[in-house]
A and B are shown apart, each in its own frame.
Chain A
């Protein structure tokens, strides 16, 4: 089983719909992250969490929210999806040295 698991792997949704992307990890790491990947822009940080009670905005948090339900679970929500949120989304954890461990990604298309 993967150390970091994302569900769903692919999703097509309509503009204005609320959608949740889920992430769970078995690494035992406190630090978890959500990134989005767009061609030519690399990975941009949406939100991060250093423990269950700690949630922080990243560089592109507008239009997104997160919930850290447990050390192992960190979900990302799009409150009202819009087409420019079409992207590849990655959940990741990191160890104390900053090495990141990524999920397989969720390809989200907003039509």
Chain B
């Protein structure tokens, strides 16, 4: 079985500061990895994904994530956040074979202060 752990339920940060949102997964087989963002009163939308290839993945709005197979991590980073980045962020994993069901972490609330 696969599982996803988002280590921080809430991350407060000041505007223009860097941020890292942590995600670890447990799986004995290869996975596909995703980060989604949920703005208030909206559904989730894709930020970025890792399917194969380069372990550094760039997404929308200046976010990037690095897949680390040895540490089973897929942390999300942004060098300088804006107020508009305040949102809930979800990490998700899917096994590369078998069931296609994506499994989500519990989410991290990013709060950007002026």
In contact, B106 and A100 (Cβ under 8 angstroms): no
The B84-103 residues at the A interface (CB cut-off 8 A) are 90, 92, 94, 100-102
Q: How far is the CA of A105 from the CA of B39 in the complex (A)?
A: 12
Complex interface: chain A residues within 8 A of B94 (CB):
97-98
The B56-86 residues at the A interface (CB cut-off 8 A) are none
**Given A40-B9, A45-B101 in contact, is the A102-B90 Cβ separation under 8 Å?**
no
Complex interface: chain B residues within 8 A of A84 (CB):
none
Q: How far is the CA of A92 from the CA of B49 in the complex (A)?
A: 17
**What residue of chain B has the Cβ atom nearest to residue A101's Cβ?**
B46
Q: How far is the CA of A40 from the CA of B105 in the complex (A)?
A: 10
Complex interface: chain A residues within 8 A of B41 (CB):
105
Tally chain A residues at the interface, Cβ within 8 Å: 23
Q: How far is the CA of A89 from the CA of B111 in the complex (A)?
A: 23
Tally chain B residues at the interface, Cβ within 8 Å: 23
Majority SS at the chain A contact face: strand
Q: Interface centre among A43, A48, A96, by most B CB within 10 Å? A: A43
**B51 nearest CB across to chain A (Å):** 6
In contact, A102 and B44 (Cβ under 8 angstroms): yes
Closest 6 CB pairs of A and B: A98-B94, A42-B106, A102-B43, A43-B104, A102-B44, A104-B43
Identify the A interface with B (CB < 8 A): 4, 31, 33, 35, 40-43, 45, 48, 50, 90, 92, 94, 96-100, 102-105
